Structure 1
């Protein structure tokens, strides 16, 4: 049976990607140009604590919504989406409070130098604020307000870098963190202003029915994404704990440089692809496979070109700019390139895990990534050489992403044959 591809929705799909790409690329250009200067200004230690802060915040934000924020996007109508949106806004703060209560109780087991009360407060407020902003972004995505999301990216980036630059004179170690927090607060106020007309009472009966209907989100996707977040964000925490803030700073900055185009691609494509793939799941499986392949090919082409440039001319420019003060930066970049290339092949289409209800597969893969992190840090500490950690993480993590990509492409191909 042959299914005709509807060209108009497809062109609208790419138009939305271009809208997202516009905002993301402008934001990233600003972040890169100013970011290098901020890195030179603040130094490795400040970036080490920033990496710890971002990692804790990313992990906590995954738990903060219990992954039910996905229901905002996959809702069948606007009323249902609004109900989920308001429910998510209610549960974020108590869940985040519980997370940091547990973290505070067990903090004596975390052997991290200079990790004081201020860092806990930074991480708590950052986690709560970014999770609220995530809920708003999900609602914008449901409404297909991609231009709003795009403009927000530019606005928040400009705010953050300006504040971080100003705050260096007052907070030379934590200015990066405080500037980021202040920018996120400004964004939160803006988001509530934009969505104030959609703040309503929650129909808990409908929420209960929705949770039962989408129980795999909590039973499989939540633990899967928690483990995935741990796998992707644990390393800056562990490196800071076992090797110190400066080495953690170099690792975090290396990832930040390499992941810039990946973030650019994911931020531009993932939200639009999520919404589109959810529609195509039952409507047009052939089109879903076609769109997915095109995205993967373009992602890999962009990343290969970037990685070639950054590992040749880029390394020379970085050495000159930083005056060789960031030891091992070029080595980290070279080793981690394999992992970043592998991530870029799957991350922008990772919403397939939810859309195709393959949350168990996601859970298994994320367990694998988490174990690789622990093995990597074990051998690094055992031989007192952080390069062992970075090499193991990049090699085996990258292989895992390629296997996962093959699985989903094969699954989409089988579905196409059954149309």
Structure 2
């Protein structure tokens, strides 16, 4: 097996390196989840899910999406200025976010219908900055093809997260354990990544920074609005679920997200990270990346099929057996979620293709429609007092979105 990998293409080797690291990093939290579900309640998982959704929603937009331009930059000099610009933007908006939380902490907690998150809101700006830093550094490492560094640090992140969550539960911190694990896992990983990239000598040059800001102005103009809509659509469901459905049902959803959607999504993203770098090369050289797109699409389809079938047919039984009878509702959610996970797994890793032919405007329309119908799905479930109905409608909306998004990606891949 190892010999075959050594003799394979650079594309396959890089995918193997990232998937190996991602696989190990995701195996750790999944392996300890049966223990965590017996230490922490659905309400505790709901609090963690709400916190992560808030941080994820802001973490990807505070850089104004200049981070996404790093891979497409013409040379390392431009890329380094984009890294610095992204960090400056992230720091500024995180400080602004801290001031907002400082003055409106109680009102935000009341709006979220979760008093438990009140004091944890003060750590949100730090977590948002760490999320943003991870995106920025990942794009830089991707450009430099340092995939091993990316893999190793993912394992360190999840190991720290899991160790803190378990030990906090055993010593009786309970509520604080899951959130402490998440924050410390982030902090340790980003600290180690900073040490690695500082050797690359990032020096801010005001004149060159202005040039790259102007050159890549389409990213904050078009990619940022699209990303905002995407993040609202992706995270508003859990946030509104917490507000209207309560933290217990949110906890069921958060566990499903933790052990199914997130691990498979990260495996898909690992393939996508290698694809982004290679697709950009193909597009610059040939004017299209059709062959690479089709090859990667088929790979994702085959890998995603087995998890889909297992979740659809056996999730209700597996969740009760593995996590305990208290989590039966989570198993039912996972059954419907299997469709969303499959379509997301196949489509999202290839989403970078859209930026190769500058199809951001069409993507933004799709994001807007997904956001509107996602919010409507929550309200329909609330109106009929049927939380699961809201889940089913949301899954349907997402599947339709990913199908149209894949068609848009293919059009970009063929160079039209």
Distance 2:160 2:110 in 1: 36
1:344-400 deviations in Å (ceiling 9; x for gaps):
121011111222211112211111111111101111111121112101100122112
Q: What does residue 311 of structure 1 align with?
A: 312
Structure 1 gap segments, 5+ residues each:
1-7
State the Cα distance separating 1:124 from its structure 2 match.
2.0
Distance 1:351 1:359 in 2: 10
Q: What does residue 50 of structure 1 align with?
A: 48
Residue among 61, 77, 80 paired with 2:78: 80
1:312-343 deviations in Å (ceiling 9; x for gaps):
34432321233321142222111122222211
State the Cα distance separating 1:198 from its structure 2 match.
3.2
Worse overlay, 277-286 or 49-58 = 277-286
TM-score by structure 2 length?
A: 0.92
Residue among 28, 37, 40 paired with 2:38: 40
Q: What number of residue pairs does the alignment pair up?
A: 407
Distance 2:379 2:340 in 1: 19
- 1:144 partner SS: coil
Distance 1:79 1:242 in 2: 49
Distance 2:86 2:112 in 1: 34
How do 1:13-412 and structure 2 match up within 5 A? 13-102=11-100, 105=104, 107=108, 110-168=111-169, 169-285=171-287, 288-412=289-413
Worse overlay, 66-75 or 323-332 = 323-332
Q: What does residue 3 of structure 2 align with?
A: none
State the Cα distance separating 1:166 from its structure 2 match.
0.8
Worse overlay, 160-169 or 93-102 = 93-102
State the Cα distance separating 1:275 from its structure 2 match.
1.1
State the Cα distance separating 1:195 from its structure 2 match.
1.9
- Assess if the C-alpha contact under 8 Å between 2:57 and 2:232 holds in 1: yes
Q: Provide the alpha-carbon RMSD of the alignment.
A: 2.2
Distance 2:167 2:211 in 1: 49
Distance 1:351 1:138 in 2: 12
TM-score by structure 1 length?
A: 0.91
- Assess if the C-alpha contact under 8 Å between 2:18 and 2:150 holds in 1: yes
Worse overlay, 215-224 or 123-132 = 123-132
1:268-306 deviations in Å (ceiling 9; x for gaps):
2111111111111121245x1111112112212222211
State the Cα distance separating 1:133 from its structure 2 match.
2.6
Distance 2:283 2:35 in 1: 45
- 2:115 partner SS: coil
Distance 2:156 2:70 in 1: 24
Change (3 A) 1:88 1:73: same
Distance 2:276 2:168 in 1: 37
1:82-133 deviations in Å (ceiling 9; x for gaps):
2221222222221112234446546276141214442212322211122123
Change (3 A) 1:407 1:188: closer
1:202-226 deviations in Å (ceiling 9; x for gaps):
1222222222222211111001101
Worse overlay, 198-207 or 355-364 = 198-207
Structure 2 gap segments, 5+ residues each:
1-5
- Assess if the C-alpha contact under 8 Å between 2:79 and 2:140 holds in 1: yes
- Assess if the C-alpha contact under 8 Å between 1:265 and 1:299 holds in 2: no
Distance 1:116 1:258 in 2: 25
Distance 2:145 2:372 in 1: 37
